[in-house]
């Protein structure tokens, strides 16, 4: 089994690690776009073009499925990616987990990038899945960029600022950017109110990995031999996991497995 994941940066680590935990025998292809980052300020057409380009680089390795491990790319490029790669390889997008968060009752806080906060896309998801639940949209300026560079001081500042904007009575927090899942415990600690249980955090990595397996007719097999390889592509070039990735548990988990000779070069 070979699974490709695409994202502008290291936000794909969370979904990749989730796939690795479910299927240690799966070969992973991680294709990102450091030359084009950040994607947020780009036009929708430009984002779609860049997403297709890095997906093409991953598709050259003939994966069984393609995970779009990025909320922005899913919003702007998912139809184009499916038209290009299906039915040869199912394409699985990433949507903020508003539906399961709202199912647990409110109030709910949705942490998202400033570009996503207040967008018709996010408002549409809230209307569709959480129309009877109190929802607060919480912009997190600078947080995804701080996570991308593993800048701990910047992460602390951005998380603290977002926590200040999060209602005290929030029972659930939706992590509306895949980068945020890499610092989930930091966020959990920041939003916890004294004397109250911590809000439930809702990411997407586990659900996306499980959906990918369903789409290709496979089952979880966490007991499988840990023989899955790792291939890393940066803007179409062979590369290694960036140093920032190793600041996170997910990146270290991926590095711990075998690598494909000639495709991953440690710098």
Judge whether 177 counts as a catalytic residue: yes
Q: Which two tokens stand for residue 198?
A: 């911590």
Phi and psi angles of residue 134, each rounded to the nearest 5 degrees, phi first? -70, 125
What distance in Å separates the CA atoms of residue 202 and residue 200, rounded to the nearest whole number? 7
What distance in Å separates the CA atoms of residue 219 and residue 22, rounded to the nearest whole number? 8
Cα 24 from chain centroid (whole Å): 19
Q: Which two tokens stand for residue 81?
A: 């990616």
Helix 205-215 to helix 13-22 angle, to the nearest 10 degrees?
A: 60
What distance in Å separates the CA atoms of residue 41 and residue 59, rounded to the nearest whole number? 26
Name the active-site residue from 177, 190, 191, 232: 177
Label residue 208 exposed, middle or buried (CB < 10 Å: 0-12, 13-18, 19+): buried
Q: Answer yes or no: are the C-beta atoms of 101 and 72 closer than 8 Å.
A: no
For tokens 């947080």, the residue is 143
What distance in Å separates the CA atoms of residue 105 and residue 113, rounded to the nearest whole number? 23
Name the active-site residue from 5, 12, 15, 70: 70
Contacts of 40 (CB under 8 A, 6+ apart): 72, 113, 114, 115, 144
User: Hey, which residues are catalytic here?
Assistant: 70, 177
């Amino acid at each position: 089994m070979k699974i490709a994941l695409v994202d502008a940066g290291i936000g794909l680590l969370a979904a990749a690690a989730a796939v690795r935990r479910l299927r240690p025998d799966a070969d992973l292809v991680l294709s990102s776009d450091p030359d084009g980052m950040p994607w947020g300020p780009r036009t929708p057409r430009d984002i779609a073009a860049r997403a297709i380009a890095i997906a093409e680089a991953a598709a050259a390795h003939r994966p069984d499925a393609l995970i779009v491990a990025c909320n922005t790319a899913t919003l702007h490029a998912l139809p184009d990616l499916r038209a290009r790669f299906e039915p040869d390889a199912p394409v699985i997008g990433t949507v903020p987990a508003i539906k399961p968060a709202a199912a647990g009752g409110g109030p709910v806080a949705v942490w998202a990038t400033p570009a996503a906060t207040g967008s018709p896309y996010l408002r549409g998801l809230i209307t569709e899945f959480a129309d009877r639940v109190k929802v607060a949209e919480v912009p997190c300026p600078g947080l995804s960029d701080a996570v991308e560079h593993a800048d701990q001081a910047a992460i602390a500042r951005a998380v603290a600022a977002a926590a200040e904007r999060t209602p005290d009575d929030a029972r659930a927090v939706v992590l509306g950017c895949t980068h945020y899942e890499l610092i989930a415990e930091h966020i959990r600690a920041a939003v916890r109110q004294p004397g109250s249980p911590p809000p439930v955090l809702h990411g997407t990595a586990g659900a996306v990995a499980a959906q990918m397996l369903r789409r290709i007719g496979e089952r979880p097999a966490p007991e499988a031999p840990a023989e899955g390889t790792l291939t890393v592509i940066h803007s179409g070039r062979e590369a290694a996991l960036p140093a920032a990735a190793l600041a996170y548990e997910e990146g270290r988990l991926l590095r711990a497995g075998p690598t494909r000779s000639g495709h991953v070069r440690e710098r």
